[in-house]
Amino acid sequence: MSIEKITAFPEITVVIIEDDAVVSVTQEYYDIDKVKTHIQGCIKTVRKYDKMGYYNLAKPEFVNEVITTFTNLELSKKDVIRVNNFMDIQGFQECNRVWQLPDEMKVQVSQMLHGFYITYDTENWEDFSIEPIKS
């Protein structure tokens, strides 16, 4: 048994820009209960695949691989900025993904992101705790 601690940042759904400044960033999961429920659901999916002997990707070895493969969470702010999902970016018509924004706006978005620490047991993935990262 090994206890590991990682960071997780929810992906962005909405960015609001006014006068060339980012005024608001909305992330998909904003509280501990929603993050915990989301991760638990993904772990159940992996456990189901394990029973069937099937994985749509390589079999995850640790819960942090479950998070990066199955959830809408990323392990760093930089990874959140790089996500290629469509986002609702209001006030800047030239793009629909954060990575397409000018560098100054990407920095502003990054500074507004919230995240969580996830502490988990590498043997028993279901045994994990979540706490917010204090900014």
Residue 56's pLDDT is: 65
Q: Match 């930089």 to its residue by tokens.
A: 78
Give the strand pairing for 116-121 and 88-90: unpaired
Domain that holds residue 117: 3-132
Q: Whose CA is closest to 15, among 109, 85, 78?
A: 109
**pLDDT tens track for 23-65:** 999 998 888 999 999 999 988 988 888 888 776 666 777 777 7
Looking at the 3D structure of the chain, how many domains does it have? 1
Helix (H) or strand (E) holding 104: helix 103-112
